[in-house]
Amino acid sequence: MPAISRLRRLYLHWLSRPHNDRLIYRVAHWQRAGRIVEVGMGTGRRALRMIEAAAEHLSPSEIRYTGIDLFESRDSANPGWGLKEAYQRLKATGVRVQLAPGDPCTALASVANTLAKIDLMVVSASVDQAALAQAWFYVPRILHPQSQVFLEEIRFGGKSAFRLISVEEVAWLAAKSRPMRRAA
């Protein structure tokens, strides 16, 4: 491995900002995350860095990134990429890119059957919590036993931090969000 990539890895894993994203980059690297799903892409910086961390062990053609975001429907208070810009920037990395515009529930419902055995799922604190609560229903079907699911939470003082969600908690959240069936 060239010295520059060692320095870059050191920067991503231990010195990059925001500091709470460092954990995600380390997991993408150590887990050799070939299938990544991100709910709430925002500016896309984390997406590019997760891909960079995963690409240390995998070729770009082996990495599949799925981004779920509001894109142009996002309110002006939350900056971020539009759909076309996100696709162009992410596709330039050489990975397979799938973008799903919409709120977490609607977008995940539309792509859940195309996703299989994801390695890493990252959920941003910026997503609508009501739509996210319903979206958990679709998550267990895209996971495998070694999948890592991280939920960003806003802590005391406005600081955010990622929390690893256990498989049991994902199952509980999915059961809690089961959609109501209508009588025919």
- Number of compact structural domains in the chain: 1
Q: In the structure, how many helices (H) and strands (E) does the chain have?
A: 7, 6
- Inside any domain, residue 104: no
Where does the pLDDT of residue 1 fall: very low under 50, low under 70, confident under 90, or very high at 90 and above? Answer: very low
pLDDT tens track for 132-154: 999 999 999 999 999 999 999 99
Checking if the pLDDT of 177 tops 90, the result is no
Distances (CA, A) of 94 to 14, 51, 55, 62, 115: 25, 10, 10, 9, 19
- Inside any domain, residue 144: yes
Q: Which residues pair with 74 in a beta bridge?
A: none
Checking if the pLDDT of 182 tops 60, the result is no
- Inside any domain, residue 55: yes
- Inside any domain, residue 101: no
Please enumerate in sequence order all residues whose Cβ is within 8 A of that of 164, keeping only pairs 6 or more positions apart, or say none: 148, 149, 150
- Inside any domain, residue 41: yes
- Inside any domain, residue 62: yes
Q: What single-letter amino acid sits at 45? A: R
CATH of the domain at 125: 3.40.50
- Inside any domain, residue 102: no
Greatest distance between any 2 Cα atoms in the chain: 64
pLDDT tens track for 44-103: 999 999 999 999 999 999 999 999 999 998 877 778 899 999 999 999 999 999 999 999
Give residue 161's domain range: 3-94+115-176
pLDDT tens track for 22-43: 999 999 999 999 999 999 998 9
pLDDT reported for residue 4:
55
pLDDT reported for residue 167:
87
End-to-end CA distance of the chain: 61
Please, what is the Cα angle at 177 between 172 and 183, to 5 degrees? 130
Tokens at 109, concatenated: 């419902």
